[in-house]
A and B are shown apart, each in its own frame.
Chain A
Amino acid sequence: MGNDRSIRCFLCRCHGEISRVIDLDEVARALKSHPGVRSLDVRNSLCLEEDMDVLASRVEDPDATGLVLGACSLYARGDRIRTALEEKGISPDTVEVVDIREGCSWIHHGQPREATTKAIDLLRMGVALQRHRENPDEVMVDPVREVFVLGAGPAGISAAASLVRLGVRVHLLDRAKSPGGLLNLVKRIAPEDVTSDEYLSQKQQTIFASNGGVSHYPGAKLISAHGSAGDFTISFSSGKTEHAIRVGAVIVATGAKILMPDGLYRHGNLEGVLTGIELERRFKAGQLEGNRVVFIQCVGVRDRKRPYCSAICCIVSLKQACQVLDVDPQAEVFVLHRDIMCPGSVLEKYYRDAMARGVRFLRYEQDRPPVVLGDENVDSVEVYDALTSEMRRIKADLVVLSTPLAPHDDAGRIAELFGLNRDEHGFYEVRTLMHPLETKREGVFVCGSARWPVLGRSAVLQGEAAAMKAYELISRGTLAASRLSTYRERKFSLARVDHEACTGCGNCVAVCPYDACSLEKKEGALKSTVNLIRCSGCGSCVSVCPNGSIQLPGHSAMAIGEMLKAVCEQGS
């Protein structure tokens, strides 16, 4: 593209919405003499069928290489015009919609002269962009209709169950011998108050009744992962055998580990100081001794080293406190906390019920933590009550330390295998706000406590959601890379490297938020190479490339330069 006088322009009056402010005749005059503009028409409403047909028929002109439409914003009808034209066989790459309504006539309604000048500028910029748009690269992906689920905890099992119900073959891998994850360690699950067997049985039945729809590999170890969205190759060992499978999507549901207190509050050298999970073990074995129990919250968390709230510990402690009261209604149960975190109506009720049953809450301050006293056995806990501002000594038979969930020790290795980022606490990083299960690697989803500590209920929901995301990806049939990304509501321009000019400096590799750029040796020299499936067209690479050898063909430096020129030229 970029031939002289090859752009056809159409201006939309929008039934006066545009032409009432902007003098379209003047705009037309100015544009007609603009280099690159082959013809210009003013229509009433480009978004209506009749005008659309005119547009489509005009473009059959073999010499016209692009269309520039002066109309409304992309978010109004601009995008729809493009889509409609695409249905008529006109590639969206050749259509530029310039917003002269929202971006001009409506916001400059009091300044018709200035608005007209601006409209001319904007259209000239559109012409410049269209003239310097090159055909973008494209690659097609045929997704493998199988999904890999890493981890058979509540999130992983739910994901697998949901997928298998949709007829997708699932590979479920877990390092433990039996499925269930952390739930296996717990007697009853809060706030639903069911056992773990009950909790997951239905889903497990779905999975194991699927006639091979799910391949379950217990006690397995991940070895490597290659490929990208739609086609990953993953190898792992299970028992003595090694497997290599191809899948279209990956769900990481590895959960989290329970932090051990590491000597805090004399855990380990004083009989009767337990962690929450050790208490669960006693519940399961039915060996609870003593009826004076003190829970200490926020152990090893919400401090400088782990500045986060693990989100589930309060509910767990409340559950356990009530369980103590179930065993011995006369028991004296204290919960020493810094704040009780029970958001939502269900959990709030849970908190109030515990209070109603006589669990006593006492707030301590972070810089004055409770002290556990005793010689061999726990004797009492000394604590500064932040509400009454006095020291209290509470007699205790058991002290339960409520420790948080923390990232698994091998989270780093898994992150590396799949190319995921981890947040500052070590959990897998997901995209923000609107895409909570997606990672920077297209086709890899994270759910459950692997992404952030959650209760079983949330883990299940997230697992199901992740399954839907994976299903959506692999069930779309053949996909264009430029439409693959989660974010690609519109078509994106994928980065392209001019290998002759590339110096191999690696700036693009360092900045690419998707790890789409990598350096490869070509004829003895390192050259940047773009993985088109990973690329999302953000352009980070373009702006750090020292000599412009990487470009977004649809939005090149040349195009931006010409747009700037178009702005400057007017009136001079």
Chain B
Amino acid sequence: MSLREEVLTRVKALLKDRRVDGVLGLSLFEKEPVPCLFEDPFDVDALVIEPKWLLAKLAMNILKTAPQEYRLGLVCRGCDDRAVTELAKRNQLDRNRLTLLGIPCTAEQARKCLCSTPYPREIVAGERVEGMYPMNDEQAQLFLTGSMEERMKRWARELNRCIKCYGCRNVCPICVCIPCKLEDDLWVKRGHIPADMVSYHLIRAFHLSDTCVSCAGCTDTCPVNIPLMLLQVSMRETLKSQYAYEPGLDPERVSPVLTEQEKGEGTLFQEPAWIDSLRGGS
């Protein structure tokens, strides 16, 4: 049985057994994929699983507007799974109302997204492929290394193109604020492109520093091809090396930038090396 058929069988069973009221996935409409909320098992034959299409935010919005007792199934990939975890941690969706049908990404998809974990925690079918280390990617290296001046020039060239479509924010499964700081004249000057785009992208990137699930949605949707997800790489590496924390992997663990001080840290017994950034000898 192909991966699609296995998912299809599962979705049908879920709907038939009334374990969920609807399943969010992709369906073919005039030969092309669109998101679809399947509520009738007979419609499920139109279900497809490609291409990779972020659905976590849609699922969140469905649950937010649906009646309290509505239960939803979601055909999801690794990034959707992590996004659901992060959204649940931030009270944006009720994990008990959501049944995940996890499928793994292909090696090629993982490479495209520079994804280190291209599979959900539980998969219903298919084979996992190993993820990749973002810094091994040539383009990523180009953007993340070099002297400060080189980096500045490279990013200036990229960010200067921004047309302020808000697409990166709109597709981001984690960006849920209404209103959003990026619409606030205080933080990002209104009515100009790209005048304040630096604030826009740095503030946006930092807001996601401990929540970004590396879905690559921002890069994919950017009409002017800014490699936005590369802004996250170094912060993610820092979180990983300093706190062994990766967003979306552990539903129980609170982000280290929000938690109480951990044992030993900042006390007599262990002092972080970065007490004073000048003394650090950089």
Within the complex, are A and B direct neighbours (CB within 8 Å)?
yes
- A10-51 interface (Cβ within 8 A of B): none
> With contacts A421-B260, A511-B258 known, is A546 near B91, CB below 8 A?
no
Alpha-carbon distance between A548 and B183 when the two chains are bound, in angstroms: 12
Shortest A529–chain B CB gap in Å is: 14
Which chain A residue shows the least CB distance to B261? A424
Alpha-carbon distance between A510 and B259 when the two chains are bound, in angstroms: 6
Alpha-carbon distance between A413 and B145 when the two chains are bound, in angstroms: 51
- B interface footprint on A501-541 (CB within 8 Å = 1, 0 otherwise): 10111110011000000010000001000000000000000
By the criterion CB–CB under 8 Å, are B181 and A547 in contact? yes
The answer to the question of A415 belonging to the interface, with a C-beta cut-off of 8 Å to chain B, is no
Shortest A134–chain B CB gap in Å is: 14
Segment with Cβ contacts to A, from B46-54, B146-154, B239-247, B262-270: B262-270
By the criterion CB–CB under 8 Å, are B258 and A546 in contact? no
Give the interface centre of A505, A544, A561 by most chain B CB atoms within 10 Å.
A505
Alpha-carbon distance between A510 and B90 when the two chains are bound, in angstroms: 10
- A interface footprint on B255-282 (CB within 8 Å = 1, 0 otherwise): 1011110011001010000000000000
By the criterion CB–CB under 8 Å, are B92 and A505 in contact? yes
By the criterion CB–CB under 8 Å, are A503 and B258 in contact? no
Query: B263's contact among A424, A501, A546, A557, by CB below 8 Å, is which?
Result: A424
Question: Which residues of the other chain, A, contact B257 by a CB distance below 8 angstroms?
Answer: 544
Question: Which residues of the other chain, A, contact B186 by a CB distance below 8 angstroms?
Answer: 557-558, 561
By the criterion CB–CB under 8 Å, are B181 and A548 in contact? yes
By the criterion CB–CB under 8 Å, are B181 and A546 in contact? yes
Question: Which residues of the other chain, A, contact B176 by a CB distance below 8 angstroms?
Answer: 503, 505
The answer to the question of A307 belonging to the interface, with a C-beta cut-off of 8 Å to chain B, is yes
> With contacts A501-B178, A503-B177, A558-B186 known, is A544 near B258, CB below 8 A?
yes
Question: Which residues of the other chain, A, contact B190 by a CB distance below 8 angstroms?
Answer: none
Give the interface centre of A307, A544, A546 by most chain B CB atoms within 10 Å.
A546
Alpha-carbon distance between A442 and B179 when the two chains are bound, in angstroms: 34
Interface size class of A (residues with CB under 8 A): 20 to 34
Alpha-carbon distance between A548 and B179 when the two chains are bound, in angstroms: 9
Interchain Cβ contacts within 8 Å, total number: 47
Query: A503's contact among B178, B259, B263, by CB below 8 Å, is which?
Result: B178
The answer to the question of B184 belonging to the interface, with a C-beta cut-off of 8 Å to chain A, is yes
Shortest A553–chain B CB gap in Å is: 15
The answer to the question of B1 belonging to the interface, with a C-beta cut-off of 8 Å to chain A, is no
By the criterion CB–CB under 8 Å, are B177 and A546 in contact? yes
By the criterion CB–CB under 8 Å, are A503 and B92 in contact? yes
Question: Which residues of the other chain, B, contact A546 by a CB distance below 8 angstroms?
Answer: 177, 181, 207
Question: Which residues of the other chain, B, contact A526 by a CB distance below 8 angstroms?
Answer: 91
Alpha-carbon distance between A503 and B187 when the two chains are bound, in angstroms: 19
Alpha-carbon distance between A15 and B242 when the two chains are bound, in angstroms: 54
Shortest B149–chain A CB gap in Å is: 23
Alpha-carbon distance between A503 and B176 when the two chains are bound, in angstroms: 8
Which chain B residue shows the least CB distance to A423? B267
Alpha-carbon distance between A511 and B256 when the two chains are bound, in angstroms: 10
- A176-234 interface (Cβ within 8 A of B): none
- Secondary structure at the A interface, as helix, strand, loop or mixed, is loop
Alpha-carbon distance between A504 and B187 when the two chains are bound, in angstroms: 21
By the criterion CB–CB under 8 Å, are A307 and B269 in contact? yes
By the criterion CB–CB under 8 Å, are B254 and A510 in contact? yes
> With contacts A503-B176, A505-B90, A519-B91 known, is A548 near B267, CB below 8 A?
no
By the criterion CB–CB under 8 Å, are A507 and B90 in contact? yes
- B interface footprint on A492-504 (CB within 8 Å = 1, 0 otherwise): 0000000001011
By the criterion CB–CB under 8 Å, are A501 and B91 in contact? no
Question: Which residues of the other chain, A, contact B254 by a CB distance below 8 angstroms?
Answer: 510
> With contacts A503-B178, A507-B258 known, is A424 near B91, CB below 8 A?
no
Alpha-carbon distance between A507 and B174 when the two chains are bound, in angstroms: 14
Question: Which residues of the other chain, A, contact B92 by a CB distance below 8 angstroms?
Answer: 503-505
Question: Which residues of the other chain, A, contact B178 by a CB distance below 8 angstroms?
Answer: 501, 503, 547
Which chain B residue shows the least CB distance to A558? B186
- B interface footprint on A316-349 (CB within 8 Å = 1, 0 otherwise): 0000000000000000000000000000000000
Question: Which residues of the other chain, B, contact A507 by a CB distance below 8 angstroms?
Answer: 90, 258
- B interface footprint on A406-424 (CB within 8 Å = 1, 0 otherwise): 0000000000000001001
- B185-215 interface (Cβ within 8 A of A): 186-187, 207
Question: Which residues of the other chain, A, contact B179 by a CB distance below 8 angstroms?
Answer: 501, 547
By the criterion CB–CB under 8 Å, are A547 and B267 in contact? no
- A interface footprint on B79-107 (CB within 8 Å = 1, 0 otherwise): 00000000000111000000000000000
Question: Which residues of the other chain, A, contact B180 by a CB distance below 8 angstroms?
Answer: 547
Alpha-carbon distance between A503 and B178 when the two chains are bound, in angstroms: 7
Shortest A522–chain B CB gap in Å is: 13
- A interface footprint on B146-184 (CB within 8 Å = 1, 0 otherwise): 000000000000000000000000000000111111001
Query: B258's contact among A307, A510, A558, by CB below 8 Å, is which?
Result: A510
By the criterion CB–CB under 8 Å, are B207 and A424 in contact? no
Which chain B residue shows the least CB distance to A424? B263
Question: Which residues of the other chain, B, contact A544 by a CB distance below 8 angstroms?
Answer: 257-258
Question: Which residues of the other chain, B, contact A307 by a CB distance below 8 angstroms?
Answer: 269
By the criterion CB–CB under 8 Å, are A547 and B258 in contact? no
Shortest B64–chain A CB gap in Å is: 8
Which chain A residue shows the least CB distance to B68? A524
Question: Which residues of the other chain, B, contact A501 by a CB distance below 8 angstroms?
Answer: 177-179
Alpha-carbon distance between A544 and B204 when the two chains are bound, in angstroms: 13
- A301-317 interface (Cβ within 8 A of B): 307
- B interface footprint on A121-140 (CB within 8 Å = 1, 0 otherwise): 00000000000000000000
Shortest A252–chain B CB gap in Å is: 20
Alpha-carbon distance between A503 and B207 when the two chains are bound, in angstroms: 14
By the criterion CB–CB under 8 Å, are B177 and A506 in contact? no
Which chain A residue shows the least CB distance to B175? A546
Alpha-carbon distance between A332 and B213 when the two chains are bound, in angstroms: 69
Alpha-carbon distance between A526 and B259 when the two chains are bound, in angstroms: 20
Alpha-carbon distance between A546 and B181 when the two chains are bound, in angstroms: 7
Question: Which residues of the other chain, A, contact B258 by a CB distance below 8 angstroms?
Answer: 507, 510-511, 544
Alpha-carbon distance between A551 and B105 when the two chains are bound, in angstroms: 42
Alpha-carbon distance between A506 and B184 when the two chains are bound, in angstroms: 21
Question: Which residues of the other chain, B, contact A511 by a CB distance below 8 angstroms?
Answer: 258
Shortest B260–chain A CB gap in Å is: 7
Alpha-carbon distance between A175 and B60 when the two chains are bound, in angstroms: 49
Which chain B residue shows the least CB distance to A421? B260
By the criterion CB–CB under 8 Å, are A424 and B90 in contact? no
Question: Which residues of the other chain, B, contact A506 by a CB distance below 8 angstroms?
Answer: 90-91
Alpha-carbon distance between A504 and B94 when the two chains are bound, in angstroms: 13
Interface CB pairs A-B, < 8 A, 19: A424-B263, A424-B264, A503-B90, A503-B176, A504-B90, A506-B90, A507-B258, A510-B258, A510-B259, A519-B91, A544-B257, A546-B207, A547-B177, A547-B178, A547-B180, A547-B181, A548-B184, A557-B186, A558-B186
By a beta-carbon cutoff of 8 Å, the part of chain B in contact with chain A is: 90-92, 176-181, 184, 186-187, 207, 254-255, 257-260, 263-264, 267, 269
Report the 5 A-B pairs with minimum CB-CB distance, sorted nearest first: A547-B177, A505-B90, A510-B258, A561-B186, A504-B91
Other than the given A505-B176, A546-B207, 13 more pairs (CB < 8 A) read A307-B269, A424-B263, A424-B264, A501-B178, A503-B92, A503-B177, A503-B178, A506-B91, A510-B255, A546-B181, A547-B181, A548-B181, A557-B186
By a beta-carbon cutoff of 8 Å, the part of chain A in contact with chain B is: 307, 421, 424, 501, 503-507, 510-511, 519, 526, 544, 546-548, 557-558, 561
